[in-house]
Amino acid sequence: MAVEPMDVSPGACPLNLDVEALRRAVQEEYAEVASNPAKGFHFHTGRTVAAIIGYEPAAVDPLPDVVVESFAGVGNPFIWGSLRPGEVVVEVGSGAGLDALIAARQVRPEGRVIGVDMTPAMLEKARANAALVGAKNVEFRQGLAETLPVPDACADVIISNGVINLCPDKDAVYRELDRVLKPGGRLQIADIIVKRAVPQDAREDIELWTG
Ligand SMILES: C[S@@+](CC[C@H](N)C(=O)[O-])C[C@H]1O[C@@H](n2cnc3c(N)ncnc32)[C@H](O)[C@@H]1O
């Protein structure tokens, strides 16, 4: 098993973390959220969490259960305002597609949404959900937040919800956001932050990353 030492934040001690093993563990967790959303996780899912974090009922209630059930967001990236008609949106970590589909509706048919996720089961579900609701201005691509499969300066807005906390190399993610965002573009990110340094042994414990 290859262990990749990495320095994940300025001034931090090198982290002995097997990044591939961490990604596999995160993918296994979210594959379960995709296929078995009622199982019960250390986070809320579906309509329950959408209501807790303040999603507009008008945006969520009319959607079929299958579109909402695997939602696992941690906050509301639309709280800073609706996206504008015609905008190009990239979503980092699009999961089963609820946020991407809300964004697709806001940017109207003349806009476009590209969702990126690393978990095949989530991509499959997101594509099926887009087809189910007839959203033609959204596509889902397999890829990593750290190496987004989209061109430079293509996005008016980047949205993300509960994903960057799962990425060990946050500097790499933010470099990608800077590369992909058009000049003057906007970041609308909901995520988990910690206000105190996390102990080294906890940062190297994959089980704590996934729950
Ligand atoms: C909290 S969910 C995203 C919620 C999503 N916005 C929605 O509408 O349901 C987290 C997602 O991030 C993805 N993810 C985690 N780390 C990733 C990474 N490094 N690159 C790409 N996707 C990642 C997981 O596969 C999972 O689908």
Mean of per-residue pLDDT scores for the chain? 92
Q: Closest residue (by CA) to atom 20 of ligand 1?
A: 144
Q: Give the atom of ligand 1 at the shortest distance from the alpha carbon of 71.
A: 9
Q: Which domain holds residue 86?
A: 14-206
Q: How many CA atoms lie within 13 A of 205 on its CB side?
A: 8
Span from the CA of 125 to the centroid of ligand 1 (angstroms):
13
Q: Closest residue (by CA) to atom 26 of ligand 1?
A: 95
Which CATH number goes with the domain that contains 21? 3.40.50.150
pLDDT in the model for residue 210: 81
Span from the CA of 8 to the centroid of ligand 1 (angstroms):
19
Q: Is 141 helix (H, G, I), strand (E, B) or coil?
A: strand
Q: Give the atom of ligand 1 at the shortest distance from the alpha carbon of 98.
A: 8
Whether the pLDDT of residue 4 is over 80: the answer is no
| AA identity, residue 74 | V
1 is a domain residue: no
Whether the pLDDT of residue 9 is over 90: the answer is no
Place of tokens 């969490």: 49
2 is a domain residue: no
More confident residue, 15 or 4: 15
Span from the CA of 95 to the centroid of ligand 1 (angstroms):
5
- pTM for the whole thing? 0.93
Confidence class for position 200, pLDDT limits 50, 70, 90: confident
d(CA 118, CA 33): 14
Segment 64-78 mean pLDDT: 97
Q: How many domains does the chain have?
A: 1
Confidence class for position 114, pLDDT limits 50, 70, 90: very high
171 is a domain residue: yes
5 is a domain residue: no
Confidence class for position 71, pLDDT limits 50, 70, 90: very high
123 is a domain residue: yes
6 is a domain residue: no
20 is a domain residue: yes
104 is a domain residue: yes
Site to probe by mutation for ligand 1, drawn from 27, 28, 30 as the one with most ligand atoms within 8 Å of Cβ, is 30
Whether the pLDDT of residue 2 is over 70: the answer is no
Whether the pLDDT of residue 13 is over 70: the answer is no
Segment 185-211 mean pLDDT: 89
